[in-house]
Structure 1
Amino acid sequence: MGENVKVIVRCRPMNQKEISNKCDTVVESGAYEVTVLNPSARNAPRKSFTFDNVYDGLSKSETIYNDMCYSLVESTLEGYNGTIFAYGQTGCGKTHTMQGDSNLMNEPSKGIIQQCFDHIFETISMATNVRYLALVSYLEIYNENIRDLLIIDEPVTTSKNPVNHLLKDVPGVGITVPTLTTQAVVNAKECYNWLRIGNKNRITAATLMNEKSSRSHTIFTINLEQIQGSTPTHPMLGGIRRGKLNLVDLAGSERQCKTGTFGERLREATKINLSLSALGNVISALVDGKKKHVPYRDSKLTRLLQDSLGGNTKTIMISCISPADVNYDETLSTLRYASRAKCISNLPKINEDPKDAKLRQYQEEILELKRLLVESQQQGNSESTDDNYRQQQRRLYEETLKMPQQMTEKSKRQVSAHEIDRNLNKNSQLEGEDFQLQVQKRVDIIKHVLIGGERVNDLQLKERHRMRKLEAKRIAHALSRIVSEDRDLLQGHYSSIQQEINIKNDHIKRCAQKIKMLEREVADLNSEFQLDREDYLEEIRNLGRNLKFYQILLHKAQPILRKSGKNW
């Protein structure tokens, strides 16, 4: 059964600059509705939009998470794919919503991403008969290039981008970046650390609208592989499921006349706007049932979000807007995008028995290691000195002892690659006891990255988790009841003919009002298109003037350069 993208709106409070400029508020928010006033024509009809939930400037990220995101993350722990992404104009609070303040460990300042970390690992710690493997990655789309933000030994500058990771469409998996660094994590603290490392590598810059404007889109991904029916003593038994959670912080759309960007910043803004425009085209194509082609390939962003928009994913879109009258056009544009996104239908399903699961590789490796242990013990008992057997034993040992890229720092300290090389170089042939010890260490390393059930006896944590889950179910039930009531009316469940006449007359009135609203929206869109066109034309004129200036400067400087060249 299909499930629509859930869309919520968050309106930030006035910032200091807007207060000092004495800007008026043009946004009014209710429980599920946002109304926008036209500041240039006070008598113009108000524009109203209905969403799954609406939050004003006093709302906290924790409230948004408990109301809307909690159930989605619970689904990810069950094996579904999930995506939460923030969209909106630059300076409207997207990064604040997703990542909170810079002090990540401060409870009131936590964003959606940090609360996902806490929720996931709390739930895993209470799991019974389930073992999890948690893998994280963090990428950035900068100027249509994909950068790995978890590379800590190779810093990347804004002017030079040494690595552009390529996308790959893997059957049964979807669009992936196979060369991306993936790290295994065993608790929320390690996730905080990797997020902090990635944010240090992220590209930001100051503009007139935002002192620390994001110049790129970022996607923090948590892959949760789980083995059903497993215990800490027998962790590799049962079937495998895999859930994936994408946490997306988009760069903001921006106009050059407002941000005052030029040079490198202007080029970044152009790429950002093009990718967001491609995202808007994908949303429009998915909503318009007449279009068979969806332009996912128009940008790297839409390719990576392909499964989140119209695919096998539960998706939440957080639309961030500004209440100030100077941002009226951008606010209206964001609300239109969000309103269209509500109509996108996804088909989420549990990912059962994925063929490329890392847990499956660990299962096979543990079986191979156990076989080697048995053979080693048997060989030791018979006191055989067969060189061919020892060479085969060493080869298999080296293959199974390769350190995976996903190993945690704690695990690496237990058996470091340097220590393994030193031991292998010291002895040309592995002794039976050393071999058994190293193989057992390898098995322990694999078991260490499998987590689950550490706090299964914490009754207080279980009760808190149960109450939060019940509240999330209550909110989801309330939303579904509203939808079902509308569906019943459309299907014609009436108690009398008079009730049917009244309801259908009301429906006709609402349709007439909707037609008028759509006609006004078409006129507004034409006006908005004209503004965008003028903005781009002005940008082209500026670039043309700069080009002409440099051509004249080069022409004037050529005789001097030639003369200087002769003197040399």
Structure 2
Amino acid sequence: MSENVKVVVRCRPMNRKENESKCENIVEINEYAISVLNPSARNSQKKMFTFDSVYDMISKTEVIYNEMCYSLVESTLDGYNGTIFAYGQTGCGKTHTMQGDGSAKDGYNCGIIPRCFEHIFETISMATNIRYLALVSYLEIYNENIRDLLSDSTGIMNHPLKEMPGVGVTVPTLTTQPVINAKQCYYWLKLGNKNRVTATTLMNEQSSRSHTIFTISLEQFQGPSSSSVSSIPSGDIMGGIRRGKLSLVDLAGSERQRKTGAQGSRFKEATKINLSLSALGNVISSLVDSKSKHVPYRDSKLTRLLQDSLGGNTKTLMISCISPADSNYDETLSTLRYASRAKNISNKPKINEDPKDAQLRQYQSEILHLKRMLEESEQKIFRRKDEDNNIIQLSHINSDLQSPSADLDIANMNFPTPKPEIDYLSELNKPKVSESSDELQLQARNRIDFIKRTLIGGERANDLQLRERHRVRKIAAQRHLSAIANALSRVESEDRDLLQGHYASITQEINIKNEHIRICRQKIKMLEREVADLNSEFQLDREDYLDEIRNLGRNIKFFQQLFSKVQPILRRNGKN
């Protein structure tokens, strides 16, 4: 069953710089629509866009999460893939929306990513007869290179992409860490953020210079009850494995060089950021264009990694962040246009059942191997003990035989004397073998215990208060999504009634059709203005790209002149 990408818009309040510059608010917001006024043409009609939800300057991240993110995260716990990503110009609140205020101790200003951690592990703790394995990874796309933010010791500066059948585009060399609670997720997120590239520009004091993707993979199987938390099935009982994957994407913001004042490495970063975001825009445009036969996913690393999120097997939520200031009119309008196109993208999410590369299967195979190894080791130890006991008995017999009375008996009985080259007592002297066997057993048991500890679920299955709170939040999220669906169906039904032509009289038919013609004429005028705006926006982009080309051309000329000056000296030194 297909499902459109959910798109919401969040407008941040005016920042200090905009207030000092006495910028005017050009944005008007209601529940599902947003209007933007062109500051250079006050008499022109406002441009209106409709989305799944629109949040104003005073809306909290908690409201956005409860209304739009909650159901998506719930579905990843059922085995679906989910993606939440923030899009918009630099300095419009994407990182604040996704990660929140790191200084907040009470959770009031928590972003979407920390709230996902709490939600996921709270739900897992209430699960009955289901066991989960949670794995996290964190990557950064910086200057079109993929960096592993959870490991600095790999030595790989640019991790390669690989497309796997049934899995999609992945980064196989990326570090993956098992986690058992939200606290461990916070730790890895914080560690990754320390390694992330940020810098100061004229538009943002803490500007992200890269795109990041934090991924939580949740594998699950029907397991024992919560009373047996440390057990794991063996054999083929682990047949029904499901895996959901939640990708939390914090994109770097689009920026114009003349506004940010980027120079040197900042300019190079901005160029790469704009190119990847331009590729993302091209992918969105191709997906909603019915005439397009090719979707340019391969134009950037970002679009390749988001390939499954846009037009694939994923439930996707796009949070478009905008500024209300008139100085950012062009960027705000561009963001809203991209967001309006994205809501027409159709995905086909489905539950990922029995994945062949599931980590749970690898753990299962490893446990079976370690258990066989322990059994063989224990059997060897038992055999060794039996041999040792026999040797000890033989040694006692040997000592008895060496006594004078025993010598007389042996002489009288004519028994053959023992061979002197066989030393039975030397067989007892094997401490190294037993020590190594004990160490292997200890390592095997520790490994099995570690795997069992990574499997979570059912720790708070009997917490009725938590269950009730979870149920209320789930119902509220479903109610909001139902209200959106009803609003859309109401619009469709009005259009359908108009086309079917149910009228009481000819006069009513004429009036309704005249009204419809008037609305169509307004739409035509709006589209004509939209074309003019697009041409203006294209001209701005063209000028920006020309500035970049001129800067790059000046750099090339400088290095060519430098090389021409240095070349004779290098040749002269080479001859000497």
Could you say which residue in structure 2 is the equivalent of 1:356?
357
Higher mean C-alpha displacement, 116-125 vs 477-486? 477-486
Retained in 2: the 8 A contact 1:104–1:192? no
Structure-1 separation of matches of 2:363 and 2:350 = 25
Measured against aligned partners, the alpha-carbon deviations of 1:87-142 in whole angstroms (never above 9, x if no partner) come to 00000000000001122644112100000000000001111110000000000000
Q: How does 1:25-104 map to 2 (within 5 A)?
A: 25-103=25-103
Could you say which residue in structure 2 is the equivalent of 1:497?
503
Paired letter, 2:350: K
Higher mean C-alpha displacement, 78-87 vs 461-470? 461-470
1:461 aligned onto 2:466: yes
Could you say which residue in structure 1 is the equivalent of 2:210?
216
Could you say which residue in structure 1 is the equivalent of 2:396?
none
| Structure-2 change in CA distance of 1:484 and 1:359 (3 Å) | same
Could you say which residue in structure 1 is the equivalent of 2:177?
183
Q: How does 1:345-494 map to 2 (within 5 A)?
A: 345-383=346-384, 427-428=432-433, 436-492=441-497
* DSSP-derived class of the 2:456 partner: coil
Could you say which residue in structure 2 is the equivalent of 1:281?
282
Could you say which residue in structure 1 is the equivalent of 2:537?
528
* DSSP-derived class of the 1:107 partner: coil
| Structure-2 change in CA distance of 1:551 and 1:438 (3 Å) | closer
Higher mean C-alpha displacement, 281-290 vs 227-236? 227-236
5+ residue gaps, structure 1, are 155-160, 387-425
Normalised by the length of structure 1, the TM-score is 0.86
Deviation (angstroms), 1:22: 0.7
Higher mean C-alpha displacement, 225-234 vs 74-83? 225-234
Deviation (angstroms), 1:505: 5.1
Could you say which residue in structure 1 is the equivalent of 2:397?
none
Structure-2 separation of matches of 1:465 and 1:58 = 25
Could you say which residue in structure 2 is the equivalent of 1:405?
none
Retained in 2: the 8 A contact 1:377–1:432? no
Measured against aligned partners, the alpha-carbon deviations of 1:472-502 in whole angstroms (never above 9, x if no partner) come to 1111111111222233334449794239946
Retained in 2: the 8 A contact 1:23–1:324? yes
Measured against aligned partners, the alpha-carbon deviations of 1:389-446 in whole angstroms (never above 9, x if no partner) come to xxxxxxxxxxxxxxxxxxxxxxxxxxxxxxxxxxxxx944667666555433322211
Retained in 2: the 8 A contact 1:285–1:293? yes
Structure-1 separation of matches of 2:445 and 2:366 = 12
Higher mean C-alpha displacement, 546-555 vs 462-471? 546-555
| Structure-2 change in CA distance of 1:482 and 1:243 (3 Å) | same
| Structure-2 change in CA distance of 1:384 and 1:65 (3 Å) | same
Coordinate RMSD, CA, aligned: 2.6
Deviation (angstroms), 1:44: 1.1
Retained in 2: the 8 A contact 1:152–1:197? no
5+ residue gaps, structure 2, are 388-430
| Structure-2 change in CA distance of 1:546 and 1:361 (3 Å) | closer
Paired letter, 1:92: C
* DSSP-derived class of the 1:137 partner: strand
Structure-1 separation of matches of 2:191 and 2:206 = 17
1:517 aligned onto 2:511: no
Could you say which residue in structure 2 is the equivalent of 1:541?
550
Residue-pair matches, total: 521
Retained in 2: the 8 A contact 1:104–1:114? no
The one of 178, 188, 195 equivalent to 1:194 is 188
Paired letter, 1:332: L
Paired letter, 1:249: D
Retained in 2: the 8 A contact 1:87–1:318? yes
Retained in 2: the 8 A contact 1:91–1:213? yes
Measured against aligned partners, the alpha-carbon deviations of 1:427-476 in whole angstroms (never above 9, x if no partner) come to 44667666555433322211100000111122221111111011011111
Could you say which residue in structure 1 is the equivalent of 2:298?
297
Measured against aligned partners, the alpha-carbon deviations of 1:334-356 in whole angstroms (never above 9, x if no partner) come to 00000000100000000000010
| Structure-2 change in CA distance of 1:503 and 1:223 (3 Å) | farther
Deviation (angstroms), 1:536: 1.7
| Structure-2 change in CA distance of 1:504 and 1:6 (3 Å) | farther
Higher mean C-alpha displacement, 165-174 vs 471-480? 471-480
Structure-1 separation of matches of 2:439 and 2:153 = 33
Paired letter, 1:439: A
Could you say which residue in structure 1 is the equivalent of 2:391?
none
Paired letter, 2:219: E
Deviation (angstroms), 1:362: 1.2
Could you say which residue in structure 2 is the equivalent of 1:227?
221
| Structure-2 change in CA distance of 1:39 and 1:495 (3 Å) | closer
Higher mean C-alpha displacement, 518-527 vs 485-494? 485-494
Could you say which residue in structure 2 is the equivalent of 1:257?
258
| Structure-2 change in CA distance of 1:441 and 1:268 (3 Å) | same
Structure-1 separation of matches of 2:337 and 2:258 = 22
| Structure-2 change in CA distance of 1:282 and 1:498 (3 Å) | farther
Structure-1 separation of matches of 2:514 and 2:461 = 58
| Structure-2 change in CA distance of 1:122 and 1:257 (3 Å) | same
Could you say which residue in structure 1 is the equivalent of 2:201?
207
Deviation (angstroms), 1:224: 0.3
Paired letter, 1:64: I
* DSSP-derived class of the 1:360 partner: helix
Could you say which residue in structure 2 is the equivalent of 1:128?
128
Structure-1 separation of matches of 2:533 and 2:251 = 25
Could you say which residue in structure 2 is the equivalent of 1:242?
243
Deviation (angstroms), 1:385: 9.2
Could you say which residue in structure 2 is the equivalent of 1:111?
111
1:306 aligned onto 2:300: no
Deviation (angstroms), 1:25: 0.9
Structure-2 separation of matches of 1:430 and 1:137 = 38
| Structure-2 change in CA distance of 1:434 and 1:201 (3 Å) | closer
Structure-2 separation of matches of 1:40 and 1:480 = 36
| Structure-2 change in CA distance of 1:104 and 1:134 (3 Å) | farther
Structure-1 separation of matches of 2:76 and 2:59 = 25
* DSSP-derived class of the 1:108 partner: coil
Deviation (angstroms), 1:517: 1.5
Structure-2 separation of matches of 1:6 and 1:479 = 10
Structure-2 separation of matches of 1:341 and 1:522 = 19
Deviation (angstroms), 1:46: 0.7
Could you say which residue in structure 1 is the equivalent of 2:345?
344
Paired letter, 1:465: H
Q: Percent identity?
A: 69
Paired letter, 2:463: D
Structure-2 separation of matches of 1:357 and 1:23 = 53
Retained in 2: the 8 A contact 1:89–1:321? yes
* DSSP-derived class of the 2:134 partner: strand
Could you say which residue in structure 2 is the equivalent of 1:157?
none
Paired letter, 2:444: V
| Structure-2 change in CA distance of 1:243 and 1:557 (3 Å) | closer
